[in-house]
Amino acid sequence: MTSPAQPPRGFSLPLVPDARAVEAWQSMIDTWTKSWARSMSAVLAVPGAPGGSGRAPAKPAAKPAAAKPAAEAPKAAPAPPPFPTYPPGKTVADMKVGDSASITRTFTQDDIEAFARLSGDDNPAHVDAEWAAASPFKARVVHGILTSGLVSAVLGTKLPGPGAIYMSQTLRWTAPVYPGDELTATATVKEIVADKGRVVMETVVSKGDSPVMVGEALVMPRRGEKPAEKPAAEAPKAAPARAAAKPAEAAKPAATAAKPAEKAAAAAKPAAKKPAAPRRTAAKTPAKPAAAKPASAQTPANDATTGTKGAS
């Protein structure tokens, strides 16, 4: 009886694989492969490591970002309306006791915050709603000085109007003003000081029928006299006359400079002697010869006498 054939040495009989064992083995191989790859990437990124290049592994190229639509340019704020033009204000002579004028205005929270930034008065009672809710007023209030600004508007645009000088003001606030309250400011002539050109005015700001601010203002209205007219400017002198005179003036120094040279030349020449003028002598009238007398009648004495007379 023969024995069954034996497999060659080094070979084993085929085994039926276990599916779960194979799956576990493959999972372990995948985990090890990923871990090894991460380790090698770290080693290659370290400068000076054996086999390392010192460079980090290349990252995948990022996808280009989608182009964003261009943002629209902000629209320019509309230009504020131009300021109105007012006629000249009244003078002291144009005003009388009892005259009055008023304006009405409502302040919003935006107005209050704009004034807080301009003036620097950002008290939380005006701009912080939570803080103001715990205050005695229970809400944000309008600045008192902003309320008094309505008085300045009346004096500067209504009565006396443009040209008036706001000199002094007393103020007393009697009630709070809240955003949205409609306010009316009124100025009334109380006293006129004509000799000094001053007017005392009673000023009141009210909310409905209740005043919220009272006081007095001292104002100097516009002066009535007209500004002095300037005298007419004199007509400028003719320029050609001045230009013609300049050459003659310029020639003077040259003529003056020539005089010393002429004087020097004259001094070098010998002085010419003038001929002596002939002397004039008075012409003597020749003596008339004496008439000869007959010798018989002459005596020695008579002859001498006759000669003397003839000489005379």
The proportion of the chain whose per-residue pLDDT surpasses 90, expressed as a percent, equals 46
| Confidence band of 114 (pLDDT split at 50, 70, 90) | very high
Backbone angles phi, psi at 174, to 5 degrees: -110, -10
| Confidence band of 310 (pLDDT split at 50, 70, 90) | very low
pLDDT tens readout for residues 121-160: 999 999 999 999 999 999 999 999 999 999 999 999 999 9
pLDDT tens readout for residues 20-40: 777 877 888 888 788 777 777
In this prediction, residue 53 carries a pLDDT of: 52
Computed over every residue of the chain, the mean pLDDT equals 76
- Domains for the chain: give ranges and CATH numbers: 92-107+148-220 (3.10.129.10)
Rounded average pLDDT over 210-220: 97
Which is higher by pLDDT, 244 or 121?
A: 121
Global pTM reads 0.50
Lowest pLDDT segment from 82-91, 160-169, 255-264, 288-297:
288-297
pLDDT tens readout for residues 41-95: 766 665 555 555 555 556 666 677 776 777 777 788 888 899 999 999 999 999 9
pLDDT tens readout for residues 66-81: 767 777 777 888 888 9
